[in-house]
Structure 1
Amino acid sequence: MIQFSRFCPGATIGLGLSLCLLTPASADEAPLPKLGPNAVPVTADAAYLREASAPDYWAFEAFVKPQFTTSACSIAAVTGALNGIRGLPGLAEDTVTTQPEMLDLVGNAEWKALSAEDGDGVTFAQLEEFTGAAVTAAGMEAYRVESYKPRTQDEATLTELRARLAANEISSADALLIYFNQGVVTGDWDGPHVSVIGAYDATADKVLILEVDQEWYIPYWTPVPVLLEAMLKPTSAEHGPLEGETGGLVHIVK
């Protein structure tokens, strides 16, 4: 049985095709598990969410929706984060903002094109820029956008990353978006992706990622050192204009 390539968020190869090439599996190869050893689905490990207050998880999980195209992980993550910070609208006539509505509200033609089906997906710098534009367009004057882009895989960087995750875990008044190589965590395809940080268990040194790639995944935990590795791995040449991109955190802070 041949295992064909699957469509993936924010990935481009040749002619603008938004998909990533996986090595075909021959008949004598065992099928890959849904998640590799660096990711544990929340359904298999929910102890922290039962024992800790986990404010980010409870604020954002309900608002993080599937990306509406294979290239829309950035707008899906931004929309979920802003909806989570603002909470459920108070009036019956008010709707929860959708991804297309957020794109229309921001009015940035480039972001809309990059997020469309077969779009190129965004760079880290564009994620920071577009997140700031969305905060402004949503009328969230009390908020600003900051970024953290790690450079090295060492103890000093891990310490800094853990401190940022711990600070974010205190309340749901802010939100962390993560730009990372999804395959480092999931063990599947090799490509850039954006999602929302849902929780940080400091005792176990693991992070919960609220996936927007919900055709393929649900929220999963990964160790902090793996998360750092995923942010540092450069995007390969098959992803066209995103080649060489590394990731980091975009912080929506009050």
Structure 2
Amino acid sequence: MRVFDTQEPQEPEPPMKAALALIFLLPFAALAETPVPKLGPDAVPITADNAFLRQSPAPDYWAFSPFVKPQFTTSACSVASVTAALNGLAGLPALSADAVMTQPAMLERAASREWAALSAEGGAGVKFQQLVDFTSLALAARGMGQKVTPFKPTGETDLAALRALLTANEVSAQDALLLYFNQGVVTGDWDGPHVSLIGAYDAEQDRVLVLEVDQEWYVPYWTPVPVLLAAMLKPTSAEHGVLQGETGGLVHIHP
């Protein structure tokens, strides 16, 4: 059965009223279309500032950056970062028959259904302690003898300890630092937990280079150490489900 509209026909709006309404809405339309910078003020891309890497040894950058690849799903930042760190520590395979470990191959070698599920497209992502545990699992699966030590800051009083760890890590490429942080605090964009790899520490300017695995949106960028600490301390919001309240830190892979 068809249902017809029985309401009285509406009188058309007077031309002046319609014009005023359009003028009133124009500023809001312009505001909605205002371009947003790719990075906020606390992130400087390596494409705009690479002087430190040209003037300093920067052993971590040269050891790990060749192995940093885009995360293979939107939830696989932990897999991408752990794979890059372990590949960098192991170095390029000596024989032509040996492949460079890929992210899917790393997951297969680790044989963790939980890690695979959390990192699948649309997966929930990992918590900080899970990153610690999965890193240890990946090292064991690859037969590597390095140990894993977490650094979990609880407040601004940990700033000195953070700088000390970054300074020690910058000495050589024999160790690596995985970073679990709120990405939006640094980039000024997406507000959520993320994992990447520390690529360098510029002590003179007190800033770190983040080797981003979220390469659909970013390239490596510098950020001040106090901002990095704030990004590790900010709890994950409720919109991220099981990760709500999660805070970050560093996962130190060392001899």
1:31 CA drift (Å): 1.5
Q: Deviations over 1:26-73 (max 9, x none)?
A: 542312100000000001110100010000000000001000000000
Match of 1:97 in 2: 101
Which of 77, 81, 88 aligns to 1:77? It is 81
Q: Percent identity?
A: 67
Q: Deviations over 1:142-198 (max 9, x none)?
A: x111100000123xx111100000000000011000000000000001100000000
Q: Matches of 2:31 and 2:63 in 1, distance apart?
A: 45
2:154 matches 1:151: yes
Give TM-score scaled by structure 2 length: 0.88
Mark the structure with the bigger radius of gyration: 2
Please, which runs of 5 or more residues in structure 1 have no aligned partner?
1-24
Q: Matches of 1:245 and 1:214 in 2, distance apart?
A: 23
What secondary structure is seen at the aligned counterpart in 2 of 1:37?
Answer: coil
2:85 matches 1:51: no
Q: Matches of 1:243 and 1:184 in 2, distance apart?
A: 16
Match of 2:136 in 1: 132
Q: Matches of 1:153 and 1:171 in 2, distance apart?
A: 27
Match of 2:111 in 1: 107
Q: Matches of 2:31 and 2:247 in 1, distance apart?
A: 35
Q: Matches of 1:235 and 1:64 in 2, distance apart?
A: 25
What secondary structure is seen at the aligned counterpart in 2 of 1:100?
Answer: helix
User: Which residues in structure 2 correspond to 1:1-254 (within 5 Å)?
Assistant: 27-29=30-32, 30-141=34-145, 143-154=146-157, 157-254=158-255
Cα RMSD, aligned residues only = 0.9
Q: Matches of 2:94 and 2:167 in 1, distance apart?
A: 30
Please, which runs of 5 or more residues in structure 2 have no aligned partner?
1-27
Give TM-score scaled by structure 1 length: 0.88
Q: Deviations over 1:214-244 (max 9, x none)?
A: 0000000000000000000000000000000
What amino acid is aligned across from residue 58 of structure 1 in structure 2?
W
Identify, as 1 or 2, the structure richer in helix: 2
Divergent runs of 4+, >2 A: 25-29
